[in-house]
Amino acid sequence: MEKIKSYLGAGRISKQGSIGVQFCVDSVKDRLVIVNHFNKYPLLTQKKADFILFKNAIEIIERKEHLNTEGLKKIVAIKASVNKGLSDELKSAFRGIISVDRPLITDQMISDPN
């Protein structure tokens, strides 16, 4: 994790329990580092769909739409489609949120191995 953090020049590492660690990116500047990295070196699996949705959420935040109710609901709808979806707490707080369509990743070829 330290090497990843050093390579990217972004993020922070925190401990999770006695044996786990977590790499976090909190600032807008650091999020853009992550977005630029995966734009340059695209993911090949269905994780690419999560990245596309993550980028959509970042764009909402960049436009400051997350500061109003509709923009926040858009981000929650994106979260509902990513990884494990919404926590019970978010489901309770945002009743009736419909998850966005998750992109289907079919092209899983490495376009340029360099």
Per-residue pLDDT at 7 exceeds 90? yes
Report the alpha-carbon distance of residue 60 to residue 46 in Å, rounded. 22
Per-residue pLDDT at 113 exceeds 80? no
Architecture of the structural domain at 42-109: Roll (3.10)
Predicted pLDDT at 32: 92
Predicted pLDDT at 84: 86
Per-residue pLDDT, averaged over 69-92, amounts to 93
Query: At CA 79, angle to CA 86 and CA 17, rounded to 5?
Result: 65
Domain residue ranges in the chain: 42-109
Whether the model pTM is above 0.85:
no
CA dihedral over 84, 86, 87, 88, signed as positive or negative: negative
Predicted pLDDT at 9: 95
